[in-house]
C-alpha cells in the first residue's frame, strides 16, 4: 500500500507539471532611427547599436536577435506579437538591397528589386538553442519596415512578444549546473533572465577540473609547471588528461567525437569551464593529429565551399549533434537535432597550443607567463593592406573601425592607404617592445600574418629571423589560411611545415603569446568598407574593452555569439568566419588593457600616431535553488585572400 501511495503521488504531482504548457512574455524597446538618403537615392537607417542585416534580396535594415529564455526542458510551440507601437519614419528614398561580396553597392535597380518584408510580422523565428543547460528561443526582430509599393517607412518603438511552450523531456548533454559563473553569463546573454529563478540545478560531482588541459602523453610533462602556475595565479582547479586515455575510454564515431563526449563529462561532473588543447593537428589523416580537430562545413558567396574548416569551437559547444543528416559534413544548417541548426552557443572556452614537441609547448607557455609578468602596454600596431583595387578597399579603413572599439589605447598605423607600411617599420615597432596588440586587415596565406612573412616572396624577406621582442604580443588577423594549424594551403595541399601563426607562437621565443586567426578564408567587402571578418574583429574588441571580457576565450566566444542571429548574413560569410576563427593560445589568459598604478614604465615609450617607427638594422552557491537577483527589464562579404 505504501508503494502504491508513492506511485499515485508521483502521477498526480509530477505528470501534470511535465505536461503543462507555459507562457513567456518579453518586452522590447527600440531607439528612434537615424536615417538619411545618399546621393544615389538609397536610404541609410541605423538604430543605436543594432546590426544592419545584409542578405541578398532583402532590404539592408537594422535587426536585433531576441534571445528568450524558456522554462527548463521546454520548446517553443508558437511565438505571437501581442502588441507593437509603430511610428512613421519620414524618408523619401529606398533601402539598399543586401548583396553578395562580388556585387556593387549601388547596382542599377538595386532599390527596386528589394523584397518586401511584411510590416505586420516584424518577428522571424530562428530556432531553438541551449546554453549552459538553459533552453532558449532565438528570433530575429525587424524594427524598421519599408513598403516598396507605397514608399512608406515605419519603425517599431516598442513591442511585446509572447511565446507558448511545451515540455520536451530530454537528457541534455550539457545540463544546467547553476554555477555562479554560468549564472552570470546567462544573465548577461538572455533577454528575460528573471526566469532563471525557475531553474533547478544539477551540480557537478566536484569542481576539480575547472581548467582542463588535454595533451598527448609525450607532451604531458611540459604542462606540469603551467598547471601549478594556473592554480597559484588564478585559483583554478587545474587538471590534465592525456588524449590517449580519453580516446581509449570514451565512445564516439571518431576521435574528435570521442574528445567532445569526454568534455561533456568533464563539464557535467567536474565543473570544467576552460579547455586548453595541448597539441597540433597536422595533416588530413586523423592518425597524425596529436589532439584531434573537427572539420566543419560552410558555404559563402554562393561559390566558396569548404567541408574541412578546422573549428575548435566544436569542442566547446556541447549540445546536440553536428552531423544529424549523416553525410559526413559537420556544421551544416540542418545538422543539429531534428534537422535544426547545430549548437551555436558555447559551454566551454577553448584554445589550442598547436605544438608538436615539448620544446614548442614550453616556448609558448613561457611567453604567456612572461606577458603576465610585464606591465600593461596600452598601445597597438594596426596593419592595413589594400584589399581590393577597383573600387579600392583599404584594410586601414577596417582597422580604424576596430580601433574605435579600443578606448585608452594609442596606435601606430602602418597602412598602405597612407604609405606608412613597410616590413622594416613593422619589425622595428615589434622589436621596440612598446606594443601589446597587433591587429591586421590583410591578404593572408599559411606563410604571412599581421604583415609578417615566414618565407621570402620576391623582394620580401622572411621577417621572423629579424624579430627580437622580449615582450610578447597578442595578434588578431583577418588573413586567409594564416591560422591553418592543420597545415593545409589554399591549393588544398598539406605541408610538412607549420603555418606562420604556429611559428609565431610555438616556434620562436620572440613573437606572439597568442593569436586569433582564420584556419581558412577570411572575408572582406569588395565594394565598400565592411565584411564578415571586420564585423567579428569589431565585436571582439568591443567584448574586451566595453564588455570587460578580457580573457581571450571569453572575448572570442562573445564575438561569435554577437552574430549568432545573423549567420546567413554577408552571403553566408558570417557562418564561415564563426567557424574558422580559432584561438591559438590559452583561453583563460587575460589581456592587460589598462596600466595599473605601480607599473614600471621606464622602458615603455608611449605609442604615438606619427608612424616614426624607425628602421631595424636589417632591411557560487551550492544550493540547487537558484536565487536570480536580476532586473527583467552588416554587411557585404568577399573572400579577401
pLDDT tens-place string over residues 318-341: 999 999 999 999 999 999 998 999
Give CA torsion, residues 174, 179, 185, 189, to 10 deg. 60
Share of the chain above pLDDT 90, in %: 77
Closest CA to 630 of 197, 284, 260: 197
The phi, psi pair for 450, rounded to 5°, reads: 60, 25
Which residues, in sequence order, are CB contacts of 340 under 8 Å at separation 6+? 127, 128, 334
Average pLDDT over residues 31-57: 91
d(CA 446, CA 235): 37
Specify the pLDDT at position 303.
Answer: 87
- pLDDT in the model for residue 634: 37
Predicted confidence (pLDDT) at residue 604 exceeds the cutoff of 80: no
Assess contact for 606 and 379: CB atoms under 8 A.
yes
Does the pLDDT of residue 622 top 50, yes or no? no
- Average pLDDT, integer, range 537-546: 98
CA-based angle 46:52:58, to the nearest 5? 115
> What is the mean predicted confidence (pLDDT) over 536-554?
97
Query: With contact defined as beta carbons under 8 Å apart, do 487 and 282 qualify?
Result: yes
Which residue do the cell numbers 624607425 mark? 614
High-pLDDT (> 70) share of the chain, %: 86
Interval 114-125 mean pLDDT: 63
More confident residue, 222 or 597: 222
- Domains of the chain (ranges, CATH numbers): 22-101+116-175 (2.60.40.3800), 363-584 (3.40.50.1460)
Strands 144-147, 152-167: pairing kind: antiparallel
pLDDT score recorded for residue 106: 43
- What's the average model confidence in pLDDT over 213-241? 97
Q: What residues pair up with 98 in beta bridges, in sequence order?
A: 56
Q: How far is residue 635's CA from residue 417's CA, in Å, rounded to a whole number?
A: 22
pLDDT at 444: 93
In the structure grid, which three cell numbers stand for residue 472, read together?
610578447
Considering the chain, what is the average pLDDT of its residues?
A: 88
Residue 293 has pLDDT above 50, yes or no: yes
Cβ neighbours of residue 604 closer than 8 Å, sequence gap 6 or more: 375, 377, 433, 434
Q: In this predicted structure, what is the pLDDT of residue 509?
A: 98
Model confidence at 391, pLDDT cuts 50, 70, 90, reads confident
For the segment 74-90, what is each residue's pLDDT rounded down to a tens digit?
A: 999 999 999 999 999 99
177 contacts: CB under 8 Å, gap ≥ 6? 132, 133, 201, 202, 203, 204, 267, 268, 271
Amino acid at each position: 500500500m505504501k508503494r502504491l501511495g508513492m506511485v499515485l503521488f508521483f502521477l498526480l504531482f509530477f505528470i501534470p507539471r511535465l505536461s503543462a504548457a507555459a507562457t513567456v512574455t518579453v518586452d522590447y524597446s527600440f531607439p528612434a532611427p537615424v536615417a538619411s538618403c545618399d546621393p544615389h537615392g538609397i536610404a541609410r537607417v541605423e538604430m543605436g547599436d543594432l546590426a544592419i542585416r545584409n542578405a541578398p534580396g532583402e532590404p539592408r535594415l537594422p535587426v536585433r536577435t531576441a534571445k528568450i529564455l524558456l522554462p527548463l526542458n521546454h520548446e517553443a510551440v508558437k511565438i505571437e506579437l501581442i502588441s507593437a507601437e509603430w511610428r512613421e519614419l519620414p524618408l523619401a528614398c529606398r533601402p539598399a538591397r543586401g548583396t553578395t561580396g562580388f556585387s556593387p553597392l549601388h547596382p542599377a535597380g538595386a532599390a527596386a528589386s528589394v523584397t518586401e518584408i511584411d510590416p505586420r510580422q516584424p518577428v522571424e523565428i530562428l530556432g531553438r538553442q541551449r546554453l549552459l543547460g538553459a533552453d532558449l528561443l532565438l528570433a530575429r526582430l525587424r524594427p524598421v519596415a519599408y513598403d516598396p509599393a507605397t514608399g512608406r517607412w515605419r519603425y517599431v518603438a516598442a513591442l511585446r512578444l509572447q511565446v507558448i511552450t511545451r515540455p520536451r523531456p530530454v537528457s541534455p548533454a550539457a545540463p544546467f549546473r547553476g554555477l555562479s559563473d554560468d549564472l552570470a553569463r546567462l544573465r548577461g546573454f538572455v533577454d528575460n533572465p528573471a526566469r532563471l529563478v525557475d531553474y533547478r540545478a544539477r551540480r557537478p560531482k566536484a569542481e576539480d577540473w575547472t581548467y582542463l588541459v588535454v595533451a598527448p602523453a609525450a607532451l604531458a610533462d611540459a604542462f606540469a609547471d603551467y598547471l601549478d602556475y594556473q592554480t597559484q595565479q588564478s585559483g583554478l582547479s587545474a587538471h590534465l588528461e592525456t588524449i590517449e586515455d580519453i580516446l581509449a575510454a570514451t565512445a564516439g564515431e571518431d576521435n574528435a567525437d570521442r574528445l567532445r563526449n569526454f568534455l561533456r563529462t568533464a563539464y557535467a561532473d567536474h565543473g570544467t569551464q576552460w579547455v586548453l588543447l595541448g597539441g597540433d593537428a597536422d595533416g588530413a589523416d586523423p592518425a597524425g593529429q596529436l589532439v584531434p580537430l573537427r572539420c566543419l562545413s560552410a558555404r559563402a558567396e554562393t561559390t566558396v565551399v569548404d567541408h574541412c574548416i578546422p573549428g575548435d569551437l566544436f569542442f566547446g559547444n556541447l549540445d546536440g549533434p553536428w552531423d544529424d543528416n549523416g553525410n559526413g559534413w559537420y556544421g551544416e544548417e540542418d545538422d543539429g537535432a531534428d534537422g535544426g541548426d547545430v549548437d551555436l552557443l558555447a559551454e566551454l572556452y577553448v584554445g589550442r597550443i598547436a605544438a608538436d614537441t615539448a620544446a614548442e609547448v614550453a616556448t609558448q607557455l613561457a611567453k604567456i607567463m612572461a606577458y603576465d609578468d610585464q606591465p600593461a602596454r596600452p598601445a597597438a600596431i594596426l596593419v592595413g593592406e589594400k584589399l581590393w583595387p577597383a573600387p579600392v578597399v583599404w584594410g586601414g579603413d577596417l582597422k580604424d573601425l576596430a580601433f574605435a572599439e579600443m578606448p585608452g589605447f594609442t596606435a601606430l598605423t602602418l597602412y598602405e592607404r597612407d604609405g606608412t607600411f613597410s616590413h622594416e617599420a613593422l619589425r622595428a615597432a615589434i622589436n621596440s617592445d612598446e606594443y601589446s596588440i597587433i591587429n591586421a586587415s590583410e591578404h593572408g596565406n599559411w606563410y604571412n600574418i599581421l604583415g609578417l612573412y615566414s618565407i621570402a616572396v620576391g623582394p620580401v624577406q622572411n621577417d621572423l629571423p629579424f624579430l627580437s621582442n622580449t615582450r610578447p604580443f597578442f595578434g588578431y588577423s583577418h588573413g586567409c589560411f594564416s591560422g591553418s594549424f592543420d597545415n593545409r594551403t589554399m591549393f588544398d595541399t598539406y605541408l610538412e611545415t607549420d603555418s606562420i601563426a604556429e611559428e609565431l607562437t610555438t616556434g620562436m621565443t620572440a613573437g606572439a603569446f597568442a593569436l586569433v586567426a582564420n584556419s581558412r578564408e577570411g572575408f572582406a567587402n569588395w565594394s565598400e568598407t565592411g565584411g564578415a571578418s571586420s564585423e567579428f574583429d569589431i565585436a571582439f574588441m568591443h567584448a574586451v574593452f566595453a564588455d570587460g571580457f578580457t580573457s581571450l576565450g571569453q572575448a572570442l566566444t562573445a564575438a561569435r555569439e554577437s552574430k549568432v542571429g545573423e549567420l546567413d548574413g554577408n552571403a553566408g560569410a558570417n557562418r564561415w568566419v564563426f567557424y574558422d576563427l580559432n584561438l591559438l593560445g590559452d583561453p583563460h589568459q587575460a589581456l592587460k588593457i589598462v596600466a595599473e598604478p605601480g607599473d614600471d614604465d621606464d622602458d615603455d615609450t608611449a605609442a604615438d600616431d606619427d608612424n616614426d617607427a624607425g628602421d631595424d638594422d636589417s632591411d557560487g552557491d551550492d544550493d540547487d535553488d537558484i536565487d536570480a537577483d536580476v532586473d527583467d527589464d552588416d554587411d557585404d562579404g568577399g573572400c579577401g585572400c
